[in-house]
A and B are shown apart, each in its own frame.
Chain A
Amino acid sequence: MRVALFIPCYVNQFYPQVAIATLQLLEKLGVTVQYPVNQTCCGQPMANSGFEHLAQGCNTLFIKNFSGFDYIVCPSGSCTLHIKDHLHDEHQEGKAQEIRTRVYELTEFLTDVLHVTKLDAKFPYRVGMHQSCHGQRGLHLSQMTELVEKPFSKPLQLLQMVEGVELVELDRKDECCGFGGTFCVAEEAVSVKMGKDRVADHIKQGAEYITAADMSCLMHLEGILKRQKSSVQVKHIAEILNGEGV
């Protein structure tokens, strides 16, 4: 099984520990992982701003970096969804399509491909799970509260394998945090208000950590927590599953 690691640009540059945790976790589970070092970004920031047509160079580079692997694994639901939905290249559409079907978000790769049933990890804290929208509503990592369907959650299923984790129940289980890519600055007032409200829900339930399968949401929530001088911290789910105590 040839597995490539796809790391979002801002994780690469701001949160290397999340990428390291992802890599170590996969290796612990017996996967040989390659990291194409020439990767940059999936192009989502441009596309979501309406500039999909300028992302062609980015797409071509992505295909160059990630062709020929059996799986491409990424610790971000949002970037995974972007590739799945929007990676195209008129000169090599076959390769683009192959990548679109082989890209997996980390937690779904663990539950659906590796069929992980136990983890050697401990995290004795009260944890609030933020359901990032693109992972949840886009990739169906968890059931959505709007639908009349059976509940399930791949990230929660994994967190429950971690010793000591005490999951808190939120008032609003899957409301958006307000990050939204360029939305976070273009619509600053509403974005921040949404983030403050999400943070308040976690704090109200006594969470010590907020986790998610997307670092972008957490970066936004962390920005608000820090500004409020809160003691509540954020942690990407890969770090918890990799068994890094704090």
Chain B
Amino acid sequence: MKDHAQLSETFNEDEPRVNWHDETLWFVRQKRDKAAHGIPEWEQLRETASQIKNNVLSNLSEYLVQFEEQAKQNGITVHWAADAAEHNKIVYGILQQNGVQQMVKSKSMLTEECHLNEYLKEQGIDVTDTDLGERIVQLAEEPPSHIVLPCIHWKKEEIGVLFHKHLGTPEGNADPQLLTHAARLNLREFFLTRRVALTGVNFAIAETGEFVVCTNEGNADMGAHLADVHIACMGMEKIIPERKHLGVFLRLLARSATGQPVTTYSSHFKKPARNQEIHIVIVDNGRSKQLGRADFRNSLKCIRCAACFNTCPVYRRSGGHSYHTAIAGPIGSILAPNLDMKQYADLPFASTLCGSCSNVCPVKIDIHEQLYKWRQVLVQEGYAPAAKTAAMKGMGFTLSNPGAFNVAGKAGRWVVKNVPFLVNNRFNAWYKQRDMPEAPKESFTEWYKKNKAE
């Protein structure tokens, strides 16, 4: 399987497209900056959100039990799933109980993480994604490349072609309004005929047993209100203790995500309407394990705003699919190795550790520090290539022995061959598109010994 470096090399073969992708996402980052700078107490808000989430993580089991009790009292059915497979089975079970072969779905990265669509397809269930971006990638038979803007890698002309093929829009027409209208008309039929709707969850409130879904299109509400059965799937870290905490997160979420003051819809679901059912599926899928890793547990504070994606200079220039995991970007790179170190050993290295991600994160996750720590863990666990390990051992020896380091009577003999950050034999990678500085006549140490040392 190809790793991040190889996949993003392919992505970079089309430079104008990389420029377009970078600029599109940089624009989102700028909107975020503008929105954040409009709130003088922004940093305090981030700190508050971070502390609320720290409290949640320290008392997660109690809050989950409280949430379950409250939700049950409200007439909601609560299910627990230890992993992705169990989650998928639970959802399928609910569909079977209702004798349903089709459902609508919106805004759930968790179901992407669990590969629900593929699983249900195998069971003969027909799933229609109703969020416009998700619908586009579904028609294109691709996973989302971004957790908030799933089809950000698609240009509108390409969407025009896709819609012409699947929805019969006029050939060559890429007018966003026309395309959106076509999607809406097409989706209407699904909304009206599907008896089960699945949504994600942004916040689950332990105090009241209600949950909140944030969208801009209102499609989650449309699906949930028209269907007989609403299934809401949530990672177990989505809890917040009390309703009053919601304000902190709603102020941060949309500003961080898209620069809007708040999402168009922040829909609260508390109890099923008459003749309707609500099911909540609470999913672990590696989260308890991550909670047990002292260095990485606070990655579970994430509220999936994607600000770290938009600011990441590497993400903007490699595209979401280069991360070969449902949650791409900097946060994905610290979540994925928890699930499978071998498969995702490349991701913590797909970063310059510039630290911009940690600065935009509304819940103050120390993302770049965790990337550094994952590198240490992955190497210690034996996921580094043997050649690299050998090179590093050699480097370790030379750098701890000034004699070996300075053996060259002339400047640069060791470093020119072994510049520490070039590891070894990777000179070609430097030279491909860059020149190397010429070695000077003498090193500074030599100059100093000649001119300064007594």
Contacts and interface: CB of A to CB of B under 8 A. Distances in A.
Chains A and B are bound partners = yes
A61 B402 contact: yes
Contacts of A216: 421
B220 to A, nearest CB: 30
B430 A223 contact: yes
A181 interface: yes
Interface string A1-35: 00000010111111111011001000000000001
- Looking at chain B's contact residues, the main secondary structure is helix
Contacts of A137: 354-356, 358-359
Nearest to A39: B402
A148 B392 CA distance: 40
A227 B1 CA distance: 32
Given A133-B352, A194-B317, A220 B439 contact: no
A57 B400 contact: yes
A60 B433 contact: no
B429 A193 contact: no
Given A14-B415, A14-B439, A7 B39 contact: no
Interface stretch (B52-60, B233-241, B282-290, B440-448): B440-448
Interface in A156-189: 172, 174-176, 178-189
A232 interface: no
Contacts of A174: 356
A144 interface: yes
Given A185-B421, A188-B9, A227 B353 contact: no
Given A9-B420, A10-B419, A13-B415, A185 B443 contact: no
Interface residues on B, range: 35 or more
Interface string A207-228: 0000000001001101110110
Contact of A35 (B15, B434, B452): B452
B42 to A, nearest CB: 4
Contacts of A246: none
Given A10-B415, A226-B435, A50 B354 contact: no
B33 to A, nearest CB: 7
Contact of B40 (A51, A148, A190, A191): A148
A148 B42 contact: yes
Contacts of B393: 54
Contact of A185 (B40, B317, B376, B423): B423
B375 A48 contact: yes
B434 A58 contact: no
Contacts of B375: 48-50
Nearest to B394: A54
B356 A181 contact: no
Interface stretch (B69-77, B102-110, B130-138, B378-386): B378-386
Contacts of A176: 313, 352, 354, 356
B355 A58 contact: no
A190 B396 contact: no
Contacts of A35: 445, 448, 452
Contacts of A55: 396, 399
A9 B399 CA distance: 9
Contacts of A23: 448, 452
B437 interface: yes
Nearest to B420: A45
A222 to B, nearest CB: 7
A183 B352 contact: yes
A113 interface: no
A49 B354 contact: no
B349 interface: yes
Given A40-B402, A185-B426, A216-B421, A46 B448 contact: no
B171 to A, nearest CB: 34
Contact of A187 (B36, B314, B355): B314
Contacts of A15: 437, 440
Given A40-B400, A197-B22, A16 B353 contact: no
Given A11-B444, A185-B423, A51 B372 contact: no
Most chain B beta-carbon contacts within 10 A, residue among A14, A192, A219: A14
B304 to A, nearest CB: 18
A117 interface: no
A17 B448 CA distance: 11
B388 interface: yes
B439 A13 contact: yes
Nearest to B18: A193
A43 interface: yes
B437 A219 contact: yes
B5 A188 contact: yes
Interface string B112-134: 00000000000000000000000
Nearest to B388: A49
A176 B359 CA distance: 14
Given A40-B400, A216-B421, A224 B434 contact: yes
A192 B434 contact: yes
Contact of B353 (A39, A51, A133, A146): A133
Interface in B341-376: 349-356, 358-360, 372, 375-376
Nearest to B441: A16
B150 to A, nearest CB: 22
Contact of A53 (B376, B402, B439): B376
Interface of A: 7, 9-17, 19-20, 23, 35, 37-41, 43-58, 60-61, 133-134, 137-138, 144-149, 172, 174-176, 178-195, 197, 216, 219-220, 222-224, 226-227
6 contacts: A16-B440, A40-B399, A50-B349, A146-B359, A180-B354, A193-B12
Given A134-B353, A148-B39, 17 more contacts: A10-B419, A13-B416, A14-B439, A45-B421, A49-B384, A49-B423, A172-B26, A181-B353, A182-B422, A184-B421, A185-B422, A186-B5, A186-B349, A187-B350, A190-B314, A193-B317, A195-B434
Q: For the complex of A and B, list the 10 residue pairs with the smallest distance between their C-beta atoms, beginning with the closest.
A: A57-B400, A180-B352, A223-B434, A45-B420, A50-B379, A50-B375, A146-B359, A137-B355, A176-B354, A19-B444
